[in-house]
Every structure is written in C-alpha cells, then in structure tokens.
Structure 1
C-alpha cells in the first residue's frame, strides 16, 4: 500500500489526478480504513504490535491527506457515499492477492442499476429516477415523423460548396448589415405575451417569445448579459410546450437556472443534476445539467424524449473535436430524430471568440448545417435567393438567410429604455464537494448550539411558555452568540462561516466574471478578503485575461495607475477591487457590469461599490451580479441586505419606520433566522411524529 500511495502522490504533483491514479487513491484509502478496523479488532495482537501497526497506517493516511490537499478533487473519493467503480473493486482484489490475503477469485462487482446506452463511456451512469421514468413509459414509442431528409434536392446550389461562403459572409465588411432576425413588433408582442404570475416582460424579451408563438423553433440568442436570456429561453419553452426541456449550462449558473424556472414558470417542476444524479427527478419538466458531468448522463438523456434543448454559454462547444461538443451535438440529433420541430436554443453573449469557424458547432447544434452543407430551412432560403457564390450579391443574401434562421442579437445600449438603469441580479451557486459539506455542517452545528440554549432557557421557566417561538429570547441568544464570536473569532461562528463561504465562492465568482469579460468587455470584480482577490486574479491570468487591482495596501501612485490602466487600456478586461479600499472615491464607469464575489454586511457598502460604475458619465444600464451560495447563510444575508435597502429608501423618502427594525444588525438578524428556521423545522418534524433532532 505504501508503494501505491507514493505513486498517487507523484501523480498528484500536477493536479487534477485522473484515471488510474484516482482509482489507486480510492483503493488505498479503503484499504487503510479496513486495515485500521481489523488491527483494532484483532485480540491476538499485543499492545505494542497493535500500536506499531496503527502508526504505520497513520503514516499512510498522512501521505494520502497531503496528496488530497494538493489535489482537492480527490476528497470526493473519500466521502461515505462515494461510488466505488468496478475497476476500483477489481484493483483492490489484485492488491489484496498480491499481499497474500485470502480473497475470492472474482471480486464482487456492484450490480448495474440499468443497462447504459453509452456503453463506450466509462463514466456513464443511469440514475434510479431515470430507470423509473423508463419503466413508467414502456410503450412510449419515438416519433420519427420529424426526421429531416438530408438528401440533396436538385437545385441551383446542389453542386456548390456552401459552408465556407456562409462563414465568409460574416467576415466581410457589411455596414448596416442585418444582425438580428426579423421579430414581431414590440407592441404586438407585448399584447400576446403569456401570463407571467404578475411579472412583466420587457419589450425585447416579448418579441422573442412572440416569435416562438408564431412557430419559430431555432435560435442563436446572443443578447448581451443583463438582457434576460434565461427568462426568454424558459418562456420560449412554455410558448412552444417544449417539455421536458433539457438545459446544459456551466456549473456557475446551474443553480440560477433552477431559480429562474421557479420565478418565470412556477407551475413547472425543475430538477438539477449533481454528480451521478442520485437525487435527480427524471419526471421533472426541466432538467438542468452542467457541462463537466454531461458525459455521465448523455446515455439516459438520449432516451428521455426531450422536446426542447437549451445550451447556455454555447461558445463553450465551439471545438467540435472535444468530448463536450460531441455529446451536445449527439443529444441534439437524438432529439430531432424523436421530436417534431423541437425547440433548440443556443445562448451566448459571445458567439464568436477567435474565428468565424466558432459558428460551426452552434449552427450544427441548431440543425442549420451538418458537416458538409446547409440543411432544411437554410438550404431552402439560399435557393430562394436565386444566387450562386460567384454572384455579386450572394454573400449579403447568404448572411441574411442565416440571420433569419434565428440569430437574435440586442445590446444594452439598444434596449436601454426597456431595462432599469441599475439592477442587482442574484446568481445562486452550489458549493459542492467536501468544502460545501463542511460549510453546511458548520452552519448546522452553529444553529444546533443556539437551539440547545433556547430549549434549555425555555425548560427553566416556571410556567408553560405556550405555543410559538419566543423571538425576544431568540434575539438575546443570537446577540450573545454574536458577541462571543466577535471576541473569539474561532470555531463555528457567523464570521468564520461567512469567510469560508467567500473563499469557497471565489473560483465560481471569478469564472463568471471571466465569462462576462469575454461577452461584454470590461468588468469590475469586488471582494472583501485578500485571499479571494488573489485567487480571482490567478484565475484571470490562467484564462489569458489581463487584470489590475485596487487594494488597501497600495500607494496612491499604484492606485492611480491601476485605475488608468482599467479605464484607458483596451487590453485590461477586469479590475479586482477591495470592498473596503475601493468602495468610495473611484470612477470606473467605463464598465457597466460588476461582480460582487462576497456579500457586504450593509446595504450602504454594497451600494457604494455599485456606484463606482453607476454614476454620471455612464451611458449603459448597470448590472451588479451578486454571487450567492445557495442553501447557506449567504442567501439569508442577501435577503436581509435587500430588506435594509428598502428600509433605507423609505426613511430617505420621509416615511416613518420602526426604530427597532431600523437599527437591526444584519449579522444579528442572520443568526435569528438560523435559529427560527431550525426551531420551525424541529416543530414540523414533531408534528409528523418523528423525534426532534434537538432533543
């Protein structure tokens, strides 16, 4: 085992470890656990011999711990519920035999949950929910009526090579050329927009939805960030009745898709796929998965009968030779084979990154082309021009034909009247893996400690406290906890938790800021802690994005140079700012997008940060993207900050407010919310006949 552990340690020098190294790491970890249990239970060993064996095993565990610290992706293999593959069991069997242990000739392999359609994919899984879905629909035959006839129909262009001229038509200088397909009139579109549970569509959003209602089914939606592409896609699916709907998105926005489904189409069920999909609801109307785990699920996705597919940040599939692109294109073809006129949408603010060829994979996903030529409606539109590639007007006509297939591109400046001059957009993200579990465990421990204090105080009262929660007592307990946390600043307290959440969000926030920079240009990135700023700057550098920073320890000259570089140098995409050092006295209105990687404790500090770009001289609507860690105290803090914002606005408008509410501290209220939520959950559990977890 020691030799294998050293092999894995060497492999982890260049993380992430892959393939055989990951298998070896998991097998050694399992064997160390089992061997420790065996040694402790072996009564034939003397105390000295047992201590010697345990010391050797502790040495191996130390090697594994150092390896996992270098490559944190290995931590997932140590979880109690971690999946042990057949190859890992086989390797474990081999190691035990080599060590002289008596083992069965054939290792006990896990029973397959269901045959996997993607047998060639070693990572493929089939969640139990998907098996249940297939069993519930055993006679659901695919509808092949929509299969396109890809045979070349006789025509003027049947013998021409057309893909290259189509791509070149977007490279040629064409002042005033059409950049967006013809959409319904805004006023007419607004009158036909579906009911939105009290929410209002902006005119440019209603235009796309109206186009779907009129029968259009393929879109390259290339609106700038902040114009509501997610809402448009979900309402388009509703208008087309494109359910079940598959959404493929980057991990950083996966949870936001679930939030938007609940916001815009609350009558539709959404399920987000995590890991191997153990918790996925295959019967949901909308299934959301991220690119990184798509390879595990592409097999069973193909048999789900999706009637619509949305690919978010579609420029990520531009490399057709990548596994990611091949999976997306294969799924798209499968959906078109089974579904008459499915809704297919590619969402990206940057359809082109390096070369016009970046269009190829997106157009193929949408069904406009295949590897060799235009298909269906696009080919018909080209034939209708009555032109061939050598004709003078072909390139202009070809470009228009492609655009009318469904390219929709609007910029903030063009629809400024539709959108607020300043808005905060929350982006919930999932803290997964060991770090996420640790943070949620710390939060649970903190709330359990305060609930125990509350229960103890109630039990000491001489009279029956009656039903309901004593909020005054809860606030006093929370205040005491806050005071204790401020003095100790160690252990599971609100300060350390928020700090850890900020650190855990750093990479996700930086990833989203990098996407924004690719899409719209300059971005302002705000954080509270130096380590979060450092990690973000490293990620930007790794992505080839030039960034500068504003920090508290800078000289005046260095500070001015950073501001000048960001505002004047077109190659500087991002400025990384400290909330405390750059929240006031800085003009950064050259950008209209801002990322708040960590939450402030006050609305005033948040507003000051946003006002670095929302100020005189700003010509575009401003969007502040607030990164929120879902299912943690982060969400509670965000809601409290927003409530204080409304309170401040009412006070400034001269409306009387309750002083007790007006002076409330966000940190105190966050702790109160934790305790109240835990007490309500415990009471609900008792009502259902189960013992309280706090008794």
Structure 2
C-alpha cells in the first residue's frame, strides 16, 4: 500500500525469517492515522526511494536502510550467482542437502552476521518489530533495552562431573531467559530476544555460549574429559568473562606491569651462493631487544595483546586457574615511550646493529631508569657477557702555533681505557673489546659517528720525548662542529674563532694599486681571501657565474704585490679564458706585471717567472710543462674553472698537485658536477689532507652520502669544508647588484676555425680594396656588408657558411660550457642570435644532451606556448630566440641570464633583446653576456662602435647608417 510522504508517517524496522538466510531486517515507512498511531498503510524503503521520505530520515536511518538492502537475497547472491539464476533458485541449490555448497554458505553467513551486528548496534532510539506471517511489518514490537546485560558463567565440580551453565542479570536483577521461547538474532556478538525485549551484553559475549541453554538448564562435563575441557574451554571463559566456580580455584593477579628489555645476540648471516661461497657479509652482528611485561611471577611478550591471561595449574585432584589482569594502556605507554626513543618494539622484538644498540642504551640509560624500564641480558647461558655500565668519552682540543693538541679520556664504568687503543679500534671499525673484569665492552655507535673523522685525521707528533696526537689547523671546522654539539672542549684564539662566522671577519683596506670599486659582497669576498692568506689556508671562491670571482681575485693579487713585491703567482685556466683575464687585469690591476705563458712559441725557462707578478697559463700547458712549473716556488697558485681537476686520477689533476707554492686558491661556479669525489679532489688541492686520503674519504663520506643518503655525514662534510668555500648565489646578493650587469666573454678561435676565417677575410679584403679604387662603384656597401656578415658567421661557427665544415668552434665551446654551468645552478637563460642557423647548432647540442628548452624564430607559430613553457615550467631552463623574432612583444621575466651570441652594430636591437628579460615584473637581477670572438671582425666592430659613438655622440641604429659612417681606414682596419 502506497504511503504518502506528504502525510504524517514513521520509519520502522522489521525482523523476519528467510527460508534459507535466517533472520533478516527490512525498513518501512508506515502511515500514521489521525491520532498519530501506526496504520496498516506501509511501504518498503530502499536506498532508491529513501530520498522521497527524507523528512523522516536521519543519518543513521540512511545507513540502516543501506545495510538492510545489502542483506536482501538479491544483493546476497549477486557475488556468487554466475549463472544468473533467480535468487530463490540459486539459494535453493546452495542450501539443498543434495546440491549444497558449504563454502558459499559460510561466506554468506559471515556477511550476514556482519550486517546484523552493524544494524543492531545502530538501532538504539529506533522502533523494531517482528513481521507477521501475512507480511505485516508491525505485527509485534520488540523493545530495545538501553543498557547492557551481564553474563556470569557457573561451574560446579563434584566427584563425578562438572555442571556448567550461564546466568544473566539486567540492571542488577536476575533475568529469567531459559524456556521462554527466546532466540538469538546475532551471535558475534550476542543479541538475545526474550519476552519481546532485545538484550546485548557486556564483554561481547558470543551467542554460541548462550544458545545451548535456551532450552536446557545446564551442561554436564564428565570426569574423564574434565582436564581437557578445562584447558581448552574453561581457560578461555575465565580469561574473557566473569566465572563463578565451586570445586576449583580461580586466583586473580592485579598489579602494575614492570617493563623488561631482554638483550640477546643475533649473529650476522652472510649471503652465500649455491656452492656456499660468501657473496656478501653483513656489516655487524646484531642485538635483539625483546620487550616483556612482568606481573608478579608472570611475564608476557608485548605482542600478546589479550586483556587477561589464564594459566591452569593441576595439583593432585585440584585445579587452580591463575588469571592475570593486564593493563594494556600502561603497556602501550611503555611501547610508545620506547618508540619515541627510536626503539620500535611494539611487536615485542627489534634487532639493531650491536654498536648502535649499545649506543642507544648509553644515550637513554637515565631516561629508562626514570621510567622504571629494566635492561638485562638473556639468561640462556650462551654468548658473551656484556658490560652494561656507563660509557664516557671526553675530548679536549687546544690551539697550538701550527696545529691543535688533542687529549682524550675514555671510561667504561670504573675502567679508563688508553686513548690510542680506542682510536685504533675506531679506525679499524671494530666495535668491541674485553674489559679487565672479563666483560665485553661495545663501543657506542655515536662515537663512530661523532669522532671517527677526527680520529682519522689525527697525526702523531714527537713532543718532549713523547708522542702527542695533533690535528692540522685546517680541520678547525671539524673541531668547532664537535664543540658546538658539546662533544669536545675547544680552546681557540680570538682571531681564529672568527672563521666560525664569516660576517665577523675584519674589514681589510683595498690595495692602492687596485683600480676599481668592489660591491659590498665582493668586498666581503676580498676580506675572506685576505683572512685565509693570513692563516695559510687554501680557499675555494665558488660564487655564482657573473658575480665577479675575477675582480675579487685581482684585488687580492694586487695586495699580494704590495705585501710580497718579489713573489710570483701562477693562474691556471682553460685556454679560452686567458684573454679575458688579461683584459680584466689591465683594467683593475694595471701595475701587475703579467706573463702569458702559452702558445707554441713560449720560452720554457722558469727563471723568467721572477720578473713578473702573475703568470697566466692553461691547463693544457700546465700538464705538458709540469716539470718546468714545479721547479719554481710560487706565491699563489690559482686554478680558474677548477672543476677541471675534479677527477683526482686525471693527468691534469696529478700535474697541478705537483706544483709548489705558499698558498692555493681555486675559482669555480660548479664545485660539484658529477659526485662527491669532485669535492675531494678540489679540497685536497687547496688544503692537502683536509678530507683525508682518497680511500678514507670514500669510506667516511662518499659511500655513506651517495649510497645510503646519510644526511648526518653530508652535514659533517659540509661543516668541514664550509670555512674554505665561499659561495654566494645571485639571489642572495641581489640587493648589491645593479639592475643589469653586462659582461663581455672573449672566445678564441680553434685552428680549423681560424683557417676558414682567414681564407674568407683575404678574399673580401682584396675584393673590397679593389672596388674602393674604382670611382662611383655603388656595390661597395653591399660587398662590405656581405663580407662582414660571412666573417661574423665564421666567428660564430664556420658551419654557418660551409655545411661541409667538420671542425669545431671556440665560441660554441664557451657557450656550451656556460649553458651547462647556469642550467646546473638552476638559472633560466635567454640565448639570442641573429642567425637561425647558429641557434640550430645550439639546438642540436641541447637535443643530444636531452636538455629541455623553448624555441622561437620567425617560423614559430605557437609563440605564446613557448613563452609559457619558459615562464612556468621549472624544467625548461633555456630559451633560444632569433634576434629578429624575439626583439619585441615578449615578456620573459623569469630569465636571470641573457646570452648575446653575435652582437652587431645596432645597440638598440641588443637593448630590446635584453629588455625581454629586464622589464617590469622582473624580480631577478639580470646578467648579460656578450660573446665576442677574439681577433675577428666582431672584436673590431665593437671597438669601432664604441669609438664612433663616443666621438659623434649619436646612436648608430641601422646597417645603412653604420656603413655610411665607415671611412676607408675603418674598412681596412676591419679587414686587417
């Protein structure tokens, strides 16, 4: 009968018996009569039509309706009815004794029991009925009792047998429930209907323990199966429920748990192959921590989670059930406490490397005692007897003239251990040794972590007829870090203490002979270089590209000339940088006497070096002339682009390490290119032994950092090198920078490139000079423009004019180097060229290296997509743009660097390109690099342009105006 949701109605739930599935629930809407009573008008509700009756439903009703839908036969059989039989036919087959499927029956019953339990738990406050045989959903109402009943299980033992039965109490009164036509709706947990009242029970009683007694007073347990029954069944009841016994005893232990950690050895198991050969040995034996809880005489593993534990004791004819009531909350608090101390023993056992285990005990001993947690060794009589007392190490480091003196005291309980013995064990990686009392002391792992590097760097030095352990001064950062972590006492002079904080280094006057102005961060770099020089420390100036490593170094060299006028310094660099250094030195330090020691015509005589303040040479020459160079004692040896020696096994690395000097300095924007060993090679050059031997460095730092991602080792390595590396990023010194910093990068042609250039230059020089001698010839400008354009292209790369050219290009090498450097530092770069073919060569390199980039020339159709990729995609660091296509209409404020590959006569076009990056909205300071090839028309045009602009005071903005401004002498100079 249809129920109107517009008229008063009530939601009810009805219980009915299914032929196969047992007791099920259904939900109904029942219309109310004019007096508010339930009428005979009712309608079944499912999740489909429930929204229609939303005004009478709450959240619980929606859940109940959903669960009741799931227990109807159509839903129950859906998962199993693969042959698409009618639900009734399927169930008949499953439950018919001839065709039954017990496995499916069990799965169905498991699902239904789960649904019944959920429904019954949520019926409180709802109306429940038994359904009549005619389908009337409100045939008889069942009252849902608001409180839980309790069950007491009785055992009465006599000489012949034991009687067993349960009694039920509700609100303190005994409930008569047997022989009352009561029935169980659900068994797990039990929900019992008696006299149309629905009861559930404390402690989640299983209905199967009540069902046998619905129509039976008690169960008799014969004497012959008594013990077996007691052990298997009664112990469970005693553990989980209230039991009243006559004829045997139940003793209850109530106390607070005591936490015990038992330690036992777990020998390492080396991995072997099929033939028993050891493939891989574990690093160290382990110790197993086993957490247990003691209640009186009883111990329980923490993984055993039952509230109560019962053990049966049979003495003569008497039985005693020992019941221990556990405090699982307290046990959990112990587990949480230990977990917070990095000992996850919630599942009872945890294995840890032996030295780490004893380090953990040593660190947390006091806190464990405060919590009342005891540690003991396994008493199985096997294995070693370990020392569990307090282990202590105290180290004192005092500054001497050229080194640090190191004193250490080591104690295990009352025993003082010689420092030399423990140091030897630490260096060998051994974790244990025997104490005078026969116990085995295990060195805490924290000592390996904290002191192994320092102990490795210690050296023996004879002092006053004895050997004293000393530490070199350049290991100051290691000592300072240990002091900061309260791991040693360190006594330093006030001046050396300043090296801890770079900002506290004193301000030094710039040398009078230095012709330039340093920005604040550059002046701070100069101060740092001077400070290192005073203490004879080597340094690595690793500022971002474009921040002026060259000018800071030249300021320091100008001071060195004043302080040591007879000394000579050596500067080694890639060949392409020599000219740049010459130009910068002439500009900032014109009084420095400079020898460029390069080329095939160089005079291989190191006695000449003393006539100069600075010798410039290349890595290639240093490698070839190492015997000549190492025969001279230099003041400073400076390596520019020092990543050239990142491989310690390379010939150039070995060569520069053979050279002799008072002081060393390296310059690089990328101190680490491939891996941690890059750092060792460069640090070892400036401060020999700072990071130990190559083998020691691999063991102490490289392997833990690169293979195990050990952040503590990485932090320690950083602390050791920090005083000797100065690295400022462009973002850090942005306030010290002008809005635009323009640099000129000079490149040197390769021999093949130079040959191609000379051939074309000779051709046009002869052609143009001849044309200039013919009066009135109007093709001169066109020929000159064509010739200059070809020479500019060859200055970039001869491939621009000759597709068959297979040589290389000096400018391309420099551009690639700087692209790699900026991109590796995470900077974004705009690369402009007037020649699309030049961009194609750069593009080919980027494709080969799988470096992402954006690209724009006159043929690009998706201009905005390319701009968006560069501006918004962090992985796109490079934007290749043709000067003509990208001169206007672009807003590229993410760029930090602009590379102009082929500057030309029109400064306005260059300015427009620069302004693509340097414009409103730009948060970065922009570094501009103009690439000029030495001894080519590029260099000469730039010089000519500067001279003409200075003289005429006018802007040469077009090719035509530039050409008209050229005199005969100018043209001859361009083509000379």
TM-score bracket for the superposition, by shorter chain length: 0.5 to 0.7
Identify the match of residue 898 of structure 2 among 594, 607, 611: 594
The equivalent residue for 2:84 is none
Alpha-carbon distance in structure 2 between the residues aligned to 1:507 and 1:353? 17
Matched, 1:522 2:828: yes
Q: Unaligned 5+ residue runs, structure 1?
A: 1-148, 375-391, 458-472, 648-655, 682-695
Corresponding position: 1:554 with 2:882: no
1:318: which partner in 2?
A: 646
Answering whether residue 940 of structure 2 is matched by residue 636 of structure 1, we say yes
- Is the partner of 1:584 in helix, strand or coil? coil
* CA deviation string 1:326-345 (max 9, x = no partner): 223333xx33xxx3xx2x22
For 1:226, the equivalent position in structure 2 comes to 546
SS of residue matched to 2:615 = strand
Partner of 1:570: 874
Corresponding residue of 2:47: none
TM-superposed deviation, 1:411: 2.2
Match of 2:583 among 243, 259, 265: 259
- Structure 2 CA distance for partners of 1:527 and 1:657, relative to 1, 3 Å: closer
TM-score where L is the length of structure 2: 0.42
- Distance in 2, matches of 1:310 and 1:539, equals 31
Say whether residues 1:502 and 2:801 are aligned partners. Answer: no
Instruction: Describe how 1:239-254 pairs up with structure 2 within 5 A.
Output: 239-241=559-561, 243-254=567-578
Partner deviation per Cα, 1:240-283 (whole Å, 9 max, x = no partner): 33752222223443321221121111122334454545378954
Q: Are the structure 2 counterparts of residues 509 and 665 from structure 1 closer, same or farther at C-alpha, using a change threshold of 3 Å? A: farther
Q: Distance in 2 between matches of 1:315 and 1:187?
A: 30
Aligned pairs for 1:241-640 (under 5 A) are 241=561, 243-276=567-600, 278=602, 283=609, 284-331=612-659, 334-335=660-661, 339=662, 342=663, 344-369=664-689, 372=692, 399-400=718-719, 402-404=721-723, 406-440=724-758, 442-443=760-761, 446-447=764-765, 481-486=780-785, 489=786, 493-503=787-797, 504=809, 505-555=811-861, 557=862, 559-640=863-944
For residues 408 and 519 of structure 1, do their structure 2 counterparts lie closer, same or farther at Cα, with a shift above 3 Å needed? same
Please tell me whether the aligned partners of residues 593 and 623 of structure 1 are also in contact (alpha carbons under 8 angstroms).
Answer: yes
TM-score for the superposition, normalised by structure 1: 0.58
Q: 1:669 to 1:581 in 2, by over 3 A?
A: same
| Kept in 2: contact 1:601–1:667 (CA 8 A) | no
Shift of the 370–211 alpha-carbon distance from structure 1 to 2, 3 Å rule, reads closer
Q: Secondary structure at the match of 1:580?
A: helix
Q: Report the CA distance between 1:671 and its aligned residue.
A: 7.0
Task: State the 1:663 CA deviation.
Answer: 9.6
The alpha-carbon deviation at position 324 of structure 1 amounts to: 3.0
CA spacing shift, 1:187–1:303, aligned 2, 3 Å: closer
- Using CA pairs below 8 Å that are at least 6 residues apart, which structure has the higher relative contact order? 1
Return the alpha-carbon distance in structure 1 between the equivalents of residues 403 and 971 of structure 2.
66
Q: Deviations over 1:188-246 (max 9, x none)?
A: 45xx1123565212122222323444525522111111210011112212223375222
Post-superposition shift, 1:677?
4.1
Deviation at 1:553, TM superposition (A): 1.4
Residue of structure 2 equivalent to 1:128: none
Question: Do the aligned partners of 1:184 and 1:210 also contact (CA within 8 Å) in 2?
Answer: no
Rate the CA distance shift 1:353–1:660 in 2: closer, same or farther, 3 A.
Answer: closer
SS at match of 1:536: helix
- Larger deviation: 153-162 or 308-317? 153-162
In 2, Cα distance between equivalents of 1:257 and 1:660: 30
Range with greater deviation from structure 2 (570-579 or 281-290) = 281-290
Q: Write the distance in 1 (CA, Å) between the matches of 2:544 and 2:780.
A: 45
SS at match of 2:837: helix
For residues 622 and 646 of structure 1, do their structure 2 counterparts lie closer, same or farther at Cα, with a shift above 3 Å needed? farther
406-415 or 424-433: which moved more?
406-415
- Structure number, greater radius of gyration: 2
Q: 1:180-259 counterparts in 2 under 5 A?
A: 182-183=501-502, 188-189=507-508, 192-195=509-512, 198-214=515-531, 215=534, 217=536, 218-241=538-561, 243-259=567-583
Aligned length: 466
Provide the residue aligned with 2:334 in structure 1: none
Displacement of 1:507 after TM fit? Answer: 3.7
Q: 1:625 to 1:667 in 2, by over 3 A?
A: farther
In structure 2, distance between residues paired with 1:396 and 1:552: 50
Q: Which residue in the other structure is 2:446 paired with?
A: none
Matches of 2:727 and 2:868 in 1, distance apart? 31
Q: Where in structure 2 are the equivalents of 1:144-159 lying within 5 Å?
A: 155-156=407-408, 159=423
Measured in 2, the distance between the counterparts of 1:279 and 1:197 equals 29
Deviation at 1:631, TM superposition (A): 1.7
Cα distance in 2 for residues equivalent to 1:544 and 1:251: 27
Partner of 1:162: 453
Question: Counterparts in 2 of 1:63-102, with a 5 A limit?
Answer: none
**Structure 2 counterpart of 1:689:** none
- 1:626 to partner: Cα distance: 0.5
